[in-house]
Structure formats: structure tokens, C-alpha cells
Amino acid sequence: MNNPWIDQATAWAAGHPDWIALALFATALLESVAIAGVFIPGVAFLFAFAALAGQAGLPLAEILTLAALGAAIGDISSFTIGRVLSGRLLSVWPFSRYPGMIAKGEVFFATHGGKSVIIGRFIGPIRPVLPLVAGALHMPPTRFIGFSLLSVFPWALLYIMPGYLVGSALAEDLSLPRHFYPTLATGAILLAAAYYVVLGMRLGLAPEGQVYHWIEKRMAAYDRSHRFWRLFTNERPASQGEFPLASIALSLLSLAAFLVLLALVTVSAELEQWNQSVQAWFQMVRHPVMDPAMILITKLADPPVLAAATALAIVALGFRGYYAAAMHIAMAMLLTAVTVTALKAGIGIERPVLVARPPSSGAFPSGHTAGITTLVTLLASFVAGEYRQHRRWQSYVLLSLPIIPVALSRLYLGVHWLTDVMGGILVGLAITGATRASFSRFDRVPLSMDALSWMAVVAWLAWTFGYLHLTWGASVMRYTLLH
């Protein structure tokens, strides 16, 4: 940190630990305010203050909440300024000095629409101006606030967590196991390859693809297959009779992969050894510094949290008349719960015996991973359905990212084997693909967000915070390692 501002601010905060949380809140707020974020080295300040918070042992949940709250207030302030100055933004100082930056923000907003508020928060050069531009271009306030609330919490995790963990590690003298970084790099490469294969398959089976047209011709050659094709064809005029070939393929391939894994998981000694090796590596990585973060992540996929999200989505869609969408979400999550429960009871694979109070249910497949996979990939499919084929991959990648930390948290905490997590993901993908294919028969009008939808998002956030607060102590005890 060679910037004298950062050095002075860090030295001051280190001497006044009671003010670290407030400094973090103020930095997140100012970093999100229009134009001010251009001058403030926000990322460096956030990292420095988060590291000091970790060293001081401040509660992680409190730090993340304050950072997210500051970012949200900054966003809303910028949006309000843009709304007030709509039509004369470039004639008012200091915005008149940055016409190029504002023009880039307008182009980005015009290209990505409402989700630019989410995407732009993670892109430094345009982050300070996007809320301003959204207000100037008369984005509905409820819609903007909803997108802002959806973005600030993942942003806080991404920008605050690294500094906090570094600070905690310095305080605890954390040492990483051998081959930590090569193993991490290998896992990242395998994950990127998995995304490439899945997204490549979906794009390859899109209506403009050669495979799609070849299958369409073969299906049209026979009366029964032609009727099946027409039955599942999207009835929305803008979709031009799109058949959910990619969704059906995803469901069938995920189901096939799950059945292969299921056949191997109970008989393969090599697979069991692989599970043991992966679990041993995660236990070498485990440290009290990272435990709160992993417990927080895993609790975001607890059944009460996922059930609340499902119930609120059903209510919001049902009240707006989207009965088919509400029914499909309800059936997908119910099918996931029933399938996972039945498989756990029927297969009966024992969990690792590593924590004080491991869940009493069977290990295979992971219910947390299956639940979060179904929920976020189903959400991704609904969002992606409102965009053209060549832009859908953005929604799939962005909205599926929560699966990764949840899966890692189950391995890190020692309550699942690697094959449990893989099985949970495959179950979720199979159910999502089948659900989306079924919904195509009823997909007649675009799904959009309104004030009621955003109220449901806020209600879910409030429920989740309350649930975390009430159950945090018990969860820390549950996931404490046996000695």
C-alpha cells in the first residue's frame, strides 16, 4: 500500500479499533457515490479496513452487513442525484467534467438493462456512474433498489471477505498446507472446463444451431414425435416456437451422470479413497479464521432459507397471475426435497465423523448443494429466458455462482464427501432442466419484476438475517471439530 492516503487511514484506524466498522461503512458508501468513487481507491481502502477488522476480531456478519448497507445507501444516493438532474446531467459540475465516463455508463445500461446495476457493481471503471445513469434514464425506483440489494451482498462477500481473512490469518499466524495453490488452480481449471462444457452444450442446442435443426427435421418426420415437439414448444410469439432442447438435454445428461455416480459410489474402492483424500485436504486447510465465513455460506443454503425463498417466490408470482411459473417453482423445490430425502434414506451412506453434531441424515446426495443448485439454476433459466440466445450465458454464469461456495463449505466443514456434493449438483441440474422444459408449454408472456417482487426479495433478506441471528450460536457449536 504505497498510497499515503491509505497508509494514514490504516494507521489511524489501527489506533482507533472502535471506529474500524464505521470506517468500512463510510468507505463502502463513498466508493458507491457518483464520481466520488473515481477519486477514492475504494478497493484498497476496503481491503485495508477489512484486514484490520479481521485482526481486531470484529464479527464477520456485522462487517459484511455494514459494508453492504453503505454500498446500498451510496447507490440510492447516486440514483436520486441522477433522477433530480435528469436531462441536464452533463451541464452540472462535477458531472460535466466526465462526459466520456457517463456516456460509457449509458451504453452499458442500454445494453444490459436492469441487470447492469448488478453487473456494473463488479466493474470498477463504471461502478461509480451506473446508479447515476440509471436515475437519469428514469429506471423505476423500486426496480433499481431491488437490483441494488441483490448486488451489494455478493459484492460485500467478494470485496470484504479476502481482507478480513487475511487480517484474521495474521492475527492467528495461519499457515497453509503444501501444494495449496497448485490444488486451488487445478480446481479452478476443472470448474472453468465444466462451465465451458455445459454452456457450450446449451448454446450448441439453441434454435439457430445445426444440431437443433437436424433434430427438428427428424422429429417432424413422424407423427408422434412431431406432436411431442409441438407440445413442448414455447408459445410466446417472441420466442418463435422455441423447443426446449437444451433443457431436456441438460436434464437427461445430468440424470445419466447421476445414475452412473450412484452405481459407483457404493461399490468403488477408488472413489472412496478419492473421497478420503479430498476430505483430508480440506481438513488441512480448515482453520478457526475461516470457520465463520464457511458457516455463514453453508447456512445460506439451509432448508429454512431456501424454503422461505421458494414460498415468497410462489406468493409473488401467484399474486401477479403467473400461476404456471409459481407452480413449477413449487414442484421443482418439492421434488428436490423429496428426491434427496428418499436417496439419503435408501442409500444410507454415512457422513464423515469430524464435527461435534453432524446431521443425522445420510450423506449422499448433499441436500444443501441440491437445493441451492435447483433454486439458482431455475432462477437463471427464468432470467435468461427474457434475453436473446447469444446473451443468455451471462445469466447462467452469474446466477449459478452461489453453487460453488455452498459446495465448498460442505466439504470444508466436514459434513459431506466430494461425491455427495457432485450428486447434489447433478440432482439439481436434472430437476431444473425438466422443470424448465415443462414450463415452456405455459411460457406465453414475459416474466418481469415489480414492486411486489422486490418486496418479496426484501422480505427474504429480512428473514435470512433473522434466521442467521437466531441460529448462529448453535451452528458454530454444531460445526466445531472433534478433537
Which tens digits make up the pLDDT trace of 156-200? 877 787 778 777 766 666 566 666 667 777 777 887 888 777 777
pLDDT-based confidence at residue 212 (cuts at 50, 70, 90): confident
In whole angstroms, how far apart are CA 428 and each of 123, 296, 397, 432? Answer: 30, 22, 16, 6
In the chain, the percentage of residues whose pLDDT exceeds 90 is 20
The mean pLDDT of the chain is 81
Sequence-separated contacts (24+) of 229-233 with Cβ below 8 Å: 231/441, 232/437, 232/438, 232/440, 232/441, 233/440, 233/441
Number of alpha carbons in the 13 Å side-chain half-sphere of residue 34: 29
Which tens digits make up the pLDDT trace of 116-165? 777 777 776 677 777 887 887 778 887 788 778 777 887 887 778 777 87
| Distance from C-alpha of 226 to C-alpha of 215, rounded to nearest angstrom | 11
Instruction: Look up residue 437 and give its three cell numbers.
Output: 422444459
Q: In the chain, what is the straight-line distance between the N-terminal and C-terminal CA atoms, in Å?
A: 40
pLDDT-based confidence at residue 291 (cuts at 50, 70, 90): confident
Query: What predicted TM-score, i.e. pTM, was given to this entire model?
Result: 0.75
Which tens digits make up the pLDDT trace of 2-27? 455 555 666 655 556 677 778 888 88
Residue located via cell numbers 443425522: 360
Query: By C-alpha distance, which of 185, 184, 177 is closest to 285?
Result: 177
Which amino acid does the sequence have at 24? L
Count of other CB atoms within 10 angstroms of residue 64: 23
- Say whether pLDDT at 93 is over 80: no
Residue located via cell numbers 416456437: 241
In whole angstroms, how far apart are CA 196 and each of 191, 192, 199, 210, 352? Answer: 9, 6, 5, 19, 32
| Distance from C-alpha of 206 to C-alpha of 225, rounded to nearest angstrom | 19
| Distance from C-alpha of 382 to C-alpha of 321, rounded to nearest angstrom | 16
Which tens digits make up the pLDDT trace of 51-79? 888 777 777 777 888 888 888 888 888 88
Query: By C-alpha distance, which of 84, 107, 82, 106 is closest to 95?
Result: 82
Q: Who wins on pLDDT, 105 or 298?
A: 298
Which tens digits make up the pLDDT trace of 361-410? 888 999 999 999 999 999 888 887 766 666 677 778 777 888 999 999 99
Which tens digits make up the pLDDT trace of 227-284? 777 777 877 765 566 778 888 888 999 999 999 999 888 887 788 888 888 888 888 8
Q: Who wins on pLDDT, 188 or 90?
A: 188
Which tens digits make up the pLDDT trace of 309-358? 999 999 999 998 889 899 999 999 999 999 999 999 988 888 888 887 88
Query: Interior CA angle at 291 toward 286 and 296, to 5°?
Result: 140
| Distance from C-alpha of 288 to C-alpha of 301, rounded to nearest angstrom | 21
pLDDT score recorded for residue 125: 64
| Distance from C-alpha of 327 to C-alpha of 411, rounded to nearest angstrom | 33
| Distance from C-alpha of 455 to C-alpha of 440, rounded to nearest angstrom | 27
pLDDT score recorded for residue 357: 83
Instruction: Look up residue 140 and give its three cell numbers.
Output: 423505476
pLDDT score recorded for residue 194: 80
| DSSP-derived secondary structure letter, 355 | B
Contacting residues for 155 by C-beta, under 8 A, at least 6 apart = 68, 71, 121, 122
User: Which range, 104-118, 185-199, 283-297, 458-472, has the best average confidence (pLDDT)?
Assistant: 458-472
Residues in a beta bridge with 481: 355
Peptide bond into 359 cis (omega under 30): no
pLDDT score recorded for residue 337: 95
pLDDT score recorded for residue 1: 44
